[in-house]
Amino acid sequence: MDKTINATVFSAEEFSPYEKTIYYLAISASLIKSYPIAIDDIGIISSLLKVDDTLLNKALDMYSGEALPFYVAFGKDIIEINDSSSADLFYGILQAVWIYKALNHLSLSTEKEAIIENYRCFNYCIDRFNMLNSFSSVFESVSQNLFSLEYSVFGNNTFSPAELLKTIETILLCEVDEAKNVLTNESDYIYNCLPILYRSFEFEIKTRVHTVYLILSTQIIKHSIFFNGTIKQIANEMYEHLLGMLQNAWLIAAQVELLPMQYSDIPEKRTRKDRTTRIQLLYGYPNYDSYCIRLDLKHKGQGFVHYNNKS
């Protein structure tokens, strides 16, 4: 006798594998609700991920305490959710969004209140970054049933922000002129160095977040239950390749070719003018070594999808 499945209808609309993946992660997050998420943050996340904000909000409130497994209907598809493990990937995205949002409010002012707010901002971002790094590495460790530092994008000894924070703490210990609310021992050194210090810290945080976010994106696709095997295999190979190259690295810039590749010629005749380079990443390390990696489709001299990595 067949058992009837009572599924909660998410939407009668048919979604792409990508959209279902994102909503699935959000529904998984609704099982534990580890972080309260403001409405404006949902708007930022939906804009970043190119999904509907109303549906994303619905997904985050989907679970209301039913016994597991929990069944959700995406159009004609009924999906079984047994646990909240996929929530780590969504909460990783959330940490990155919060860091980017906080850094957007960074001030270059030398007034004491601005220095205090920036100091709080940097501490907040460090905490969020550590969580982002942990969500990525722990999720992969659990999925592989192997807890290893190999899955950590950044190791324990590769980011030491304490010295920068101590510099700000030292400045805060200076006497303050209450009338002007600026540092009484203000000098060209303080005026010139504080904005540089702020920007240096912003660079240290943001470029590391870029790196983990890129790795996290490949994890989301390779672990998705909605993409076909070929797409997941490509994502898995990208994860392994990028993690090997970008571990402990700053991702400084990314360029994506939005125009379609020219298919007028067979692969053996295609050149760079045919837009075979789809993604370029500029990355570097604390020792100031820098590299550019390109993801190319098939072209003259290379009969397969490949990477080009140059210093």
- For 77-125, write each residue's pLDDT tens digit: 888 888 888 999 999 999 999 999 999 999 988 888 888 899 999 999 9
Which token pair is 122? 């940097």
Which pLDDT does position 93 carry in this prediction? 97
Nearest to 217 by CA among 103, 306, 90: 90
- Measured from the Cβ of residue 246, the count of other Cβ atoms closer than 10 Å reads 22
Provide the token pair at 200: 């240096």
**What is the average per-residue pLDDT within 226-246?**
93
Tokens of 112: 């004491």
Q: What are 21-49's pLDDT values in tens digits?
A: 999 999 999 998 888 999 999 999 999 99
274: left (phi over 0), alpha (psi -120 to 50) or beta: alpha
Identify which has the larger pLDDT, 245 or 67.
245
- Rounded Cα distance between 185 and 235, Å, is 55
Confidence check: pLDDT of 1 > 50: no
- C-alpha separations of 208 from 14, 280, 284, 286, 307 in Å: 36, 17, 10, 11, 22
Alpha-carbon distance values, 45 to 30, 122, 134, 201 (Å): 15, 21, 20, 24
pLDDT at 158: 58
Note the pLDDT of residue 166: 78
Average pLDDT over residues 194-221: 93
Q: In 3-state terms, what secondary structure has residue 198?
A: helix
pLDDT at 179: 43
- Nearest residue to 225 (alpha-carbon basis) of 8, 3, 23: 23
pLDDT value of residue 33: 85
What was the pLDDT predicted at 184?
52
The highest-confidence range among 18-32, 141-155, 194-208, by mean pLDDT, is 18-32
- Higher pLDDT: 48 or 184? It is 48
State the Cα–Cα distance between residues 290 and 207, nearest whole angstrom: 13
**For the chain, which residues make up each domain, given as ranges?**
8-84, 93-242, 250-310
Kindly give, in sequence order, each residue whose CB lies less than 8 Å from that of residue 170, ignoring residues fewer than 6 positions away: none
Phi, psi for 280 (deg, rounded to 5): -125, 135
pLDDT recorded at residue 200: 87
